[in-house]
A and B are shown apart, each in its own frame.
Chain A
Amino acid sequence: MTMRIFIPRDAGAVAVGADDVALAFEQAAAARGAPVEIVRTGSRGLYWLEPLVELATAQGRIGFGPVTPGDVPSLLDAMAGNGQHTLRLGVTDEIPWLKRQTRLTFARCGVIDPRSVDDYRAHGGYKGLERALTLTSDQILADVTTSGLRGRGGAGFPTGIKWKTVAQASADRKYIVCNADEGDSGTFADRMIMEGDPFVVIEGMTIAGITVGATKGYIYIRSEYPHAVEAMNAAIAAARRAGLLGKRIGGSAHEFDLEVRVGAGAYVCGEETSLLESLEGRRGIVRAKPPLPAHKGLFGRPSVINNVLSFAAIPFILDNGAKAYADFGMGRSRGTMPIQLAGNIRYGGLFETAFGVTLGELVDEIGGGTFTGREVRAVQVGGPLGAYFPRALFDTPFDYEAFAARDGLIGHGGIVVFDDTVDMVKQARFAMEFCAIESCGKCTPCRIGSTRGVETINKIINGERVAENLAVIEDLCNTMKFGSLCALGGFTPYPVMSALKHFREDFGPAPARLQAAE
């Protein structure tokens, strides 16, 4: 009997040797004459176990990991025999870290062959589109609105309202644009889903197209993600062959096609108007709003521009109904969020769960603290523009509003953990440095403010007139926050001010009058 073995081709797994492991399996199986079928999947998102190899059995898939090429001969013995091995993890779906998740968007990621439309369909794929094709545009809009889905890129704008605006606009052409410029450090959910389940993104964008009356979509993927570019292109080609992109999709009267465009290393292009400029072939300079992209977007036409995860949430909503999605979550944050645990963390990876889980649960219980074994001192939530939170704020629930109330943001759902060796004044300076490197240059607060910020923090580090320079930083941050055109300059103050507020001791001696009072 042929053994079916699943090995990820996800970049995160490849980075720790998945390709070498796959090759070792092929060679060892060939040498033994053992009939083995290797399926390259995405990642399950349990990165500390990568490369995670799975074997199909009557009880379900059995996981083994982390596997090195040297383990392969003994693994093959175990797989052919009683299945016992020191790397055996049991039935993968039963691994507690995976089992306690609510995988709506990532249900198939790491399970299916991301190059196969048939495999996608066999796991419930394209049911959302099938149902959407039986509905009117208004009915689909009602579903998306009722689901409570908010933009997963970070801004959290209600997806249904955005789509409705585009649907109601009249124009000769409309566009669907997928923002796959996932530049935030600590985030990799877009990359994972594009590599592990690209069809769910295609399906979500196709549903958006038929809803608003757009026939062309672009996926703008950052150049740092070559594996995702390859996976999306392969999936688009497969969807076209299956009649699910192009004219008369799924045998309907609708037309929709997709094209991948690759960024060129500019972080600011993750900002939607900058991304549109870049897609149009120009420098990624931010546009002033209004007009909104929903009215005048790509090439001046009404455009839906959403994050990868927003589109990827749509098929579930259309297939299972808005209520099934909205039943998860808290407050105005409905559904699930694919949270990414990263940095100095013991159990790093993708954890999709309903909104409402606390930061402390995520970092300590699920993430297991740091891999260095030292104390967790700070966590940055929401990428380079997100605030640093100390342990004192670990009771904050993962929810758009709860984080905003504590001067933070959930952004794209990335959590970067730092241990007690972190120097927070350096992290504050890095935030300003990064903004200076990546500023598009259009507005003064961001362009000049970030450079002045680096200079001023350097003075603080050198102990020059610390109190006065801290006042300058605070003033500068206010100017950037309220005066910048987009979130790059506008949110850089979050990491800077949170570092200062919660980790004041890293910014040099306290003001003299306070010392005198002690």
Chain B
Amino acid sequence: MTVGYEPWDTARGAEIIAEHAGLEGATLVILHALQEAFGYVPEPAIPMVAEALNLSRAEVHGVFTFYHDFRKQPAGRHVLKLCRAEACQAAGGDALAARAEAKLGVSLGHTTADERVTLEPIYCLGLCATAPSAMLDGRVVGRLDEARIDALVAEAQR
């Protein structure tokens, strides 16, 4: 279970939705806010967002599934994102990604069986002059090498 997030609660969800429903084009803002609170976008929230914004459930579901950021279920305790775009590829990112996958025993896009670490690809952190780069729970790390990726993986497993 992801730490630092609230468990899903309908009243709390409704409160978050109401807080942003008045904005122009509020759907993404609300989905971000829900995910920030709960660590993912719980399924029961989708029809609630639709209701609040006078949209169909399908429209909100469509938005939720279109964007890579929104999660259907909680991530692992830590999220390690490895940049897999060209600048990091050029700087040796492929081998480092393979190394992280081997150490964690999961491929990119998956969570370890003990639910400690979610390993994800990310397409560019804008740290292309200090490539290869990664992000562990929002903290950016550049100039990765084998020792640094090992340290990041170990930190994520703690």
Interface residues of A (CB under 8 A from B): 11-12, 14-16, 47-48, 50, 182-188, 190-191, 223-227, 261-267, 278-284, 299, 340-345, 348-350, 371-372, 380, 384, 414, 416-419, 422, 427, 430, 434, 437-438, 440
Contacts of A16 in B (CB 8 A): 130, 142-143
A261 touches B86 (CB 8 A): no
With a 10 A CB-CB cut-off, give which of A261, A279, A343 has the most chain B CB atoms. A343
Please, how many angstroms separate the alpha-carbon atoms of A342 and B124 in the complex? 12
Min C-beta distance of B130 to chain A, whole Å = 5
A265 touches B68 (CB 8 A): yes
Contacts of B59 in A (CB 8 A): 282
A281 touches B129 (CB 8 A): no
Which of B62, B126, B130, B142 meets A187, CB within 8 Å? B126
Please, how many angstroms separate the alpha-carbon atoms of A326 and B117 in the complex? 52
A224 touches B125 (CB 8 A): yes
Min C-beta distance of B62 to chain A, whole Å = 5
Please, how many angstroms separate the alpha-carbon atoms of A418 and B87 in the complex? 8
B128 touches A264 (CB 8 A): no
Please, how many angstroms separate the alpha-carbon atoms of A279 and B25 in the complex? 6
Contacts of B68 in A (CB 8 A): 264-266
Beyond contacts A15-B140, A15-B143, A188-B128: 9 other A-B pairs, Cβ-Cβ < 8 A, are A11-B125, A11-B140, A12-B126, A12-B142, A15-B125, A265-B122, A343-B88, A427-B86, A430-B86
B131 contacts chain A at the CB level, 8 A cutoff? yes
B53 contacts chain A at the CB level, 8 A cutoff? yes
Q: Which residues of chain B from 52 to 101 have a CB within 8 Å of any chain A CB? A: 53, 59, 62-63, 66-70, 85-92
A sample of 16 cross-chain residue pairs with beta-carbon separation below 8 angstroms, ordered by A number, consists of A15-B141, A184-B124, A186-B87, A188-B128, A227-B140, A262-B28, A262-B32, A281-B29, A282-B27, A282-B59, A342-B129, A343-B89, A345-B129, A380-B86, A419-B90, A440-B66
Min C-beta distance of B139 to chain A, whole Å = 8
Please, how many angstroms separate the alpha-carbon atoms of A497 and B133 in the complex? 28
Q: Which residues of chain B from 122 to 158 have a CB within 8 Å of any chain A CB? A: 122-131, 133, 138, 140-143
Contacts of A48 in B (CB 8 A): 129
Min C-beta distance of A502 to chain B, whole Å = 16
Please, how many angstroms separate the alpha-carbon atoms of A94 and B69 in the complex? 43
Min C-beta distance of B28 to chain A, whole Å = 6
Contacts of B28 in A (CB 8 A): 261-264, 278, 281
B129 touches A264 (CB 8 A): no
Which of A12, A278, A380, A417 meets B130, CB within 8 Å? A12
Q: What is the chain A residue whose CB lies nearest that of B122?
A: A224
Contacts of B125 in A (CB 8 A): 11, 15, 224-225
Which of A278, A282, A343, A372 meets B86, CB within 8 Å? A343
B69 touches A264 (CB 8 A): yes
Known: A191-B126, A283-B66, A343-B131. A416 touches B32 (CB 8 A): no
Min C-beta distance of A439 to chain B, whole Å = 11
A299 touches B25 (CB 8 A): yes
B17 contacts chain A at the CB level, 8 A cutoff? no
Contacts of B143 in A (CB 8 A): 15-16
Contacts of B25 in A (CB 8 A): 261, 279-282, 299
B14 contacts chain A at the CB level, 8 A cutoff? no
B119 contacts chain A at the CB level, 8 A cutoff? no
With a 10 A CB-CB cut-off, give which of A281, A340, A380, A434 has the most chain B CB atoms. A281
Min C-beta distance of A274 to chain B, whole Å = 10
Contacts of B140 in A (CB 8 A): 11, 14-15, 227
